Amino acid sequence: MRGYLATIAFAALLPVGAAMAGAPTATPITNNGHPTFLLGLGVEFGDTTSSTPDVGITGKIISSDLSNHFVVGAGATYFPWSAGKPIGVDISAGFNATDFGVLGGYDFIRQKPELSAGFVPTESSSTTCPSGYSLSGGSCFADVSDRRRKRDIRHLATLSDGIRLYSFRYLWSDTVYVGVMAQDLLEDTRFRHAVLTDADGFYRVEYDKLDLVMVTLEQWLEHGLDAVVLGTRPAELLAPIAA
């Protein structure tokens, strides 16, 4: 492990030696967001009979699942320790962070202002790409695994079943990735089923058919093989036999 980690670290320092080339691209898809939910705590103020605010468990439907996005919502809150009405219904507005939202509103049943915060399942980007493409710099680039579309290729490790892993850059990107080469897979009858040919004659690899994923160099340096292999891959095929 130490040997091939050192190899990738060296590869990351190599200068960019090839000019950018035309990349296979697709039109980005604008994600306008979808309604989702908030589950968390609600706090209401304004109770003249108590010096402490009422705290309850709240659930709300909110207008968008996009992170870093303003939202509106409506829902109900249960106040188990309240001396008054235990259920409130409110309309709120607020902001989604990453997997977290904060909203302020008014409870029409209990007639009090309410502040709510809790978990929201968010999407990180308002722009997505079609299947088989990755977003980079606002454009969708094909997840091509053809050696002819890559540069600065360095062999990192060979898994026990013979699959070779490399660090590389695409011709149109400076990001360093770790993955496979389609040409290698075509040489082995066990792996040919994972290779597709695009209309332009270049190869693409369906990584899930190999129980692998393509990752960035940073992910590889942080997690090693755990970043590349899926949990469905047999344990005896995880360890590298060469670097």
Tens digit of each residue's pLDDT, the chain (243 residues): 444 444 434 343 333 333 334 455 667 777 778 899 999 999 998 776 667 889 999 999 999 998 888 999 999 999 998 878 899 999 999 999 989 999 999 999 999 999 999 999 988 766 666 666 665 556 666 667 889 989 999 999 999 889 999 999 988 788 898 999 999 999 999 999 999 888 778 898 888 888 888 888 888 898 888 888 876 555 544 444 444
CB–CB of 47/66 below 8 Å? Answer: no
Paired strand residues for 155: 166
With b for 16 or more beta-carbon neighbours within 10 A and e for fewer, the 144-159 pattern comes to bbbbebbbbebbbbbb
- Name the pTM for this structure: 0.48
Distance CA 202, CA 113 (A): 60
Question: What's the confidence (pLDDT) of residue 3?
Answer: 44
pLDDT at residue 5 in the model: 41
Spell out the long-range contacts of 75-82 with Cβ–Cβ below 8 A and sequence spacing 24 or more. Answer: 75/38, 75/116, 77/42, 77/44, 77/107, 77/114, 77/116, 79/42, 79/44, 79/54, 79/55, 79/110, 80/56, 81/54, 81/55, 82/54, 82/56
